[in-house]
Structure 1
């Protein structure tokens, strides 16, 4: 393992659903570089496509406005008195 600490930790195993997206070539190049660094850091080969779902999940989990909206919409109404 490398001494570098990446924001995205080791990838968990999960059930997947295929989603096709189009991204700019420079973003794909950055994802490929990140995947290379991730592989070196954690000692397991990973490609850019495998990283994207985890990056999106991490991003949404840390988005305060999204979290507040989710909490507000999932809160069950209190029983009538």
Structure 2
């Protein structure tokens, strides 16, 4: 089984966002969703629902951002 940085997508209340993506990024999101759905007991999530968890993961793992945020508590 492939180890991905993104785990199962929680069923959360969706928020409508209009976003224009390059076609290559959309294809990558579709492929990522298919890989997530290939895990036993999982169905492929809507590729657009991957965007928020991916951004959250990116922000949480960005050490530079965390460092500046700790230094400047005014930034939330």
TM range (shorter): 0.7 to 0.9
5+ residue gaps, structure 1: 76-81
Residue 69 of structure 1 deviates from its aligned partner by 1.8
Q: Is the 8 A contact 2:60 2:66 kept in 1?
A: yes
Q: Does 1:59 align with 2:58?
A: yes
How many residue pairs end up in the alignment?
A: 73
Which of 31, 34, 37 is equivalent to 2:35? 37
Distance 2:68 2:13 in 1: 26
Residue 11 of structure 1 deviates from its aligned partner by 1.6
Distance 1:70 1:5 in 2: 29
5+ residue gaps, structure 2: none
Runs of 4+ more than 4 Å apart: none
CA-to-aligned-CA distance 1:29-55 (integer Å, 9 cap, x gap): 111011111111251230110111000
Distance 2:47 2:62 in 1: 22
Q: Is the 8 A contact 2:6 2:53 kept in 1?
A: yes
Aligned to 1:79: none
Q: TM-score, normalised by structure 2?
A: 0.80
Say which structure, 1 or 2, has more relative contact order (CA 8 Å, 6+ apart). Answer: 1
Higher helix share: 1
